[in-house]
Amino acid sequence: AIILHEIPQEISDISVLIQGGFSRKRAVFLNFLCALMCSMGAVTTLLLSQVMELGLGAMLALTAGGFIYIAASDLVPLLRSNELKVALPIQFAATLVGVLSMQSILWLENIIQF
């Protein structure tokens, strides 16, 4: 599940940086630094959840809300613009493949557990 999620995500992150005007080399480097910060944030969240009354679930919910806000306010309008020239059926198909891949993994996990 992580591989199915991370590889396309990192490719799309680099694409967004290139679209924003960075060179390919600089975009890859900045994306690497961002990934390092995400790892440190995950460790910090796990450590803080042990000592704070605000549980891990609440912190993850706040983080998920932040990601949904970014996607809805910045990335979706970019997809709908004419700058990317990607057809709506292709966007829908890519999203559907992602959702079905994750659902397939969930089904497979349930089958293996029994």
Please report, in tens digits, the pLDDT of each residue of the chain (114 residues total): 666 777 888 888 898 899 889 999 999 999 999 888 888 888 887 787 777 766 667 777 888 898 888 878 877 777 666 665 667 777 788 888 888 988 898 888 888 876
Q: What pTM value is reported for the model? A: 0.47
Q: How many CB atoms lie within 10 A of CB 101?
A: 13
Residue 74: DSSP 8-state: I
Structure token digits, residue 36: 């390092």
Q: At residue 53, what are phi and psi to the nearest 5 degrees?
A: -75, -30
What gap in Å lies between CA 97 and CA 64, rounded to an integer? 21
Instruction: Look at the block and give the residue holding tokens 């803080």.
Output: 48
